[in-house]
Amino acid sequence: MGDSKRLRIAVQKSGRLSDDSIALLKAIGIKLYIRDRLLIAHSTNEPIDLLRVRDDDIPGLVMDGIVDLGFIGENELEEKMLERQSANKAADFEVLRRLDYGGCRLSIAVPQEMKYDGIQSLEGKKVATTYPYLLERYFKENNINARAVMLTGSVEVAPRAGVADAICDLVSTGATLEANGLVEEDVIFRSKAVLIQRADGALSDEKQALVNRLVPRIDGVIQAKESKYIMLHAPKAYLEQVKSLLPGAENPTVLPLAGSDDAVAVHVVSPEDLFWETMEKLKSLGCRSILVMPIEKMMG
Ligand SMILES: Nc1ncnc2c1ncn2[C@@H]1O[C@H](COP(=O)(O)OP(=O)(O)OP(=O)(O)O)[C@@H](O)[C@H]1O
Ligand SMILES: O=P(O)(O)OC[C@H]1O[C@H](OP(=O)(O)OP(=O)(O)O)[C@H](O)[C@@H]1O
Ligand SMILES: [Mg+2]
């Protein structure tokens, strides 16, 4: 399958990573028509097919060469890598880019009423998790004798159900832990979504050329999201102060303003957003018509 002429990309069918991964593919110019029932989607403008699967399967599909690329959370990727290594299966892949979504952490959490003085408090205890390999690695690194109990879902209910003493699960806002009377204690892994590719050299020249053309576009999309185009009218007398307030404004475009001798228009691409506080300072310097605009694409 991986040897078909079309580049195969695995994405999570439905879950936390699905929408952002599809949005990123669309933003880099890949036209996709996704029908909810269908597990394969074809691009209409590039030789690319999308395979929509459970995220658990994505690392294996890439490492076995069934697909060429995959969007996956680092937590799941690392877990599957450890699992395959322990079974002596090949676990080769290449991380092409770390992405700007899917941010979460894998943490140990305990019931509110449990006294916790560090990881040694878990000596001899059972900890429910969907990530037994990551958790056991952490136990080993800390010389703790504890048991990971594998649960594929609803990990948060394990202590109440008497299945385990504590849990190790993904946390983002912490709302799920709080709702279940659990307290986050130790972060054992920090994760973001990544784009991975089959082992170095495994792709045909044509496919690799396509990937090499697409990856810089991802950089462009991420960079554009973080950047802003800023325009304002500034009093000439305060131009230097104005420049020093604008992030990344070493070389702004300064243009004359029709009908005004003492003010100019300043345009700058800023690598970051402009805080309200900075806008207020600019205004107090006499700047007017301060506009902060999103940038859709960037290159060069
Ligand atoms: N609360 C969160 N905030 C941000 N990212 C998260 C959060 N929870 C999980 N993630 C990231 O998204 C990935 C997918 O999470 P999701 O909950 O959709 O997985 P799942 O239930 O295992 O889905 P599937 O049905 O595909 O197996 C996780 O492995 C993690 O990398
Ligand atoms: O700290 P929080 O912001 O509350 O997020 C944490 C929750 O998010 C994830 O589950 P998700 O909501 O994706 O549902 P799932 O149980 O189907 O995986 C994760 O498994 C936690 O349960
Ligand atoms: Mg999953």
Domain segments of the chain as ranges:
7-101+193-224, 104-191, 227-294
Average pLDDT of the residues in 100-129? 97
Q: Which helix (H) or strand (E) holds 70?
A: strand 69-73
How far, in Å, CA of 257 to CA of 231, rounded? 12
Using most ligand atoms within 8 A of CB, pick from 20, 105, 154, 176 the residue to mutate for ligand 2.
176
The token duo for 276 is 């309200």
List all residues 6 or more positions away from 183 whose beta carbon is below 8 Å from its beta carbon. Answer: 109, 110, 111, 112, 116, 177
Residue 79's pLDDT is 98
Domain 227-294: state its class.
Answer: alpha beta
CA of 16 to the centre of ligand 1 (A): 5
Nearest CA to 215 among 111, 122, 299?
299
Lowest mean pLDDT among 1-5, 95-99, 136-140, 260-264: 1-5
Burial of 179 (0-12, 13-18, 19+ CB in 10 A): exposed
pLDDT at 1 over 90: no
Model confidence band, residue 3 (pLDDT cutoffs 50, 70, 90): low
Atom 31 (ligand 1): residue with closest C-alpha? Answer: 73
What's the CA gap between 152 and 130, in Å, rounded?
5
Let me know: does 78 contact 134? Beta carbons within 8 Å.
Answer: yes
Ligand 2 test: best mutation among 13, 156, 171, most atoms within 8 Å of CB? 171
Give the closest residue (by CA) to ligand 1 atom 14: 16
Query: Which of the listed residues 79, 107, 168, 172 should we mutate to test ligand 2's pocket, taking the one with most ligand atoms within 8 A of CB?
Result: 172
Q: Identify the CA nearest to 54 among candidates 19, 9, 14.
A: 14
Instruction: State the average pLDDT over residues 174-180.
Output: 97
Burial of residue 145, with CB atoms counted within 10 A of its CB: 0-12 exposed, 13-18 middle, 19 or more buried:
exposed
Cα distance between residue 217 and residue 250, in whole Å: 25
In eight-state DSSP terms, residue 274 is P
Average pLDDT over residues 142-150: 98
Residue 56 has pLDDT above 60, yes or no: yes
Q: Cα separation of 140 and 217, whole Å?
A: 41
Tell whether the model's pLDDT for residue 2 goes beyond 50: no
What is the average per-residue pLDDT within 220-233?
Answer: 94
Closest protein CA for atom 20 of ligand 2? 170
* Predicted local distance difference test score (pLDDT) of residue 125: 98
**Residues 6 or more apart from 155 whose CB is under 8 A from it?**
128, 129, 130, 167, 168, 169
Domains 7-101+193-224 and 104-191 share a fold: yes
Percentage with pLDDT > 90 across the chain: 91
The answer to whether 30 touches 48, Cβ cutoff 8 Å, is: yes
Cβ < 6 Å from ligand 2: which residues? 16, 153, 169-176
Q: Does domain 7-101+193-224 fall into CATH 3.30.479.30?
A: no
Strands, sheet with 228-235, edge to edge from the N-terminal-most edge strand = 253-257, 260-270, 228-235, 288-294
Q: Are 116 and 185 in contact (CB under 8 A)?
A: yes
Lowest mean pLDDT among 1-5, 61-65, 143-147: 1-5
Domain 104-191: assigned CATH number: 3.40.190.10
Which amino acids bring their CB within 6 angstroms of ligand 1?
12, 15-17, 54-56, 73, 75-76, 102-104, 170, 172, 191
Residue 279 token pair: 């806008």
Residue of minimum CA distance from atom 6 in ligand 2: 171
Nearest atom of ligand 1 to the alpha carbon of 130: 22
For residue 18, give the ligand nearest its CA: 1
